[in-house]
Structure formats: C-alpha cells, structure tokens
Amino acid sequence: MRKILLFFLFIILSYILVGNILASNNMLPEDALRMRVIANSNSTYDQYVKVKVKEEVEEDLFELLRNTKDTEEAKTKVKNNIPLIKQKVGKILIKENYPLGYQVNYGKNYFPEKIYKGVTYDEGYYESLVITLGQGKGENFWCVMFPPLCMMETDHLDDIEYKSLVKEMIDKYLK
C-alpha cells in the first residue's frame, strides 16, 4: 500500500512540476545567446545555401564554445571571432557559387516568436549572431548557441546517455 501511495504522490508532484515548467512558456535564460541564419528567399537553392551556411558555421561555433562556462564567456568568444565567421560565410558562398551578398551582425537583433517542441519562445530583441543571405526574405534557421541548445542536435554528442527520472523512480518504488 505504501508503494502505491508513494507512486501516486510522485505522479501528482511530477504533474505539478511539468505544469509549472510549461506554464512559464519559455525555458531560456534571459541572457541566452542566440543565432539565426536567414535565407534570401524560399527557393530551393536559397534554402539549400542557408542550410550549408548553418551547418558549417554551427560546426565552428560548436568547437569555439565547447568548453565555455557561462554566457558572458560565450558572448566574448563569439564577438572576438566575428571576422572569422564572416570569412567562413564568404568561403561557403564562393564554394556554392552564391551570387548575392551577405551580412553578419552581432548585437541586439530581432527574433520572431518561435514554437519548438511545444515551447513558445517570445519574439523580441536578443543578443545574438544573425547571418542574413541576400535580401533575407526567406525562412530562417533559429537556435540558441549558449546554453548550447542547438548544438545538442549535432552529431558530436553520440556519447550522451539519456535517462528518465520518472522511469527510475517507478522502478525504484515498484521493486
């Protein structure tokens, strides 16, 4: 009987905790460092180039921010590497025979509202790195560089082990 009561108590507390997290509607710290790559248009070619730029710049940023301890350190590293990021984007565009220009901007940039995996990220101006290709009228790639939320989707993290707290608790109390 005790195990059943503990199980139901755990379920209720979990429900309250998850409800509070979802109710907050935005799980990012205020000082999170964001990145956005905006395509020239929604043509297949422009979207392809956007993805190429995103992939290669993201790879470099992953390496740059790998051992970063806090947001201020991440911001300093990105700011100090803007010339290298611009150079990288230029090389990608030359390789892809992309005839339009580009801009790389670091500072307070506008981000539209985004819903990702059930969480709404509010629109607003955030400290960020924004790469705009051509006229920047196409769909964009949007992520958080620090804490490294977009970097979590890269192939570098094959050694992460995922665990379920709920499953561990259930296993513990039902044994």
| Residue 52: pLDDT over 90 | yes
Domain count of the chain?
2
Six-digit token string for 90: 């230029």
| Single-letter residue type at 141 | F
Query: ∠ at Cα 101 (95, 107), nearest 5°?
Result: 110
Residues 66 and 121 in one domain: yes
Residues 51 and 128 in one domain: yes
How confident is the model at residue 167, as a pLDDT?
57
Residues 153 and 167 in one domain: no
Residues 130 and 167 in one domain: no
Alpha-carbon gap, residue 130 to 105, rounded angstroms? 5
Residues 119 and 41 in one domain: yes
- Give the largest CA-CA distance in the chain: 71
| Residue 163: pLDDT over 90 | no
Residues 13 and 44 in one domain: no
Residues 9 and 50 in one domain: no
Q: Are 46 and 138 in contact (CB under 8 A)?
A: yes
Residues 120 and 140 in one domain: yes
Residue for token pair 């992460």: 160
How confident is the model at residue 36, as a pLDDT?
95
Burial of 6 (0-12, 13-18, 19+ CB in 10 A): middle
Residue for token pair 């590293």: 77
Domain containing 47 equals: 31-157
Tell me: the pLDDT tens digits for 61-88? 999 999 999 999 999 999 999 999 999 9
Residues 14 and 35 in one domain: no
Query: ∠ at Cα 142 (140, 143), nearest 5°?
Result: 165
Mean pLDDT of 99-119: 90
Residues 129 and 65 in one domain: yes
Percent residues over pLDDT 70 in the chain: 69
pTM beyond 0.85: the answer is no
How many angstroms from the chain centroid is the CA of residue 102? 22
Least confident of 27-31, 48-52, 91-95, 164-168: 164-168
Residues 36 and 11 in one domain: no
Residues 6 and 60 in one domain: no
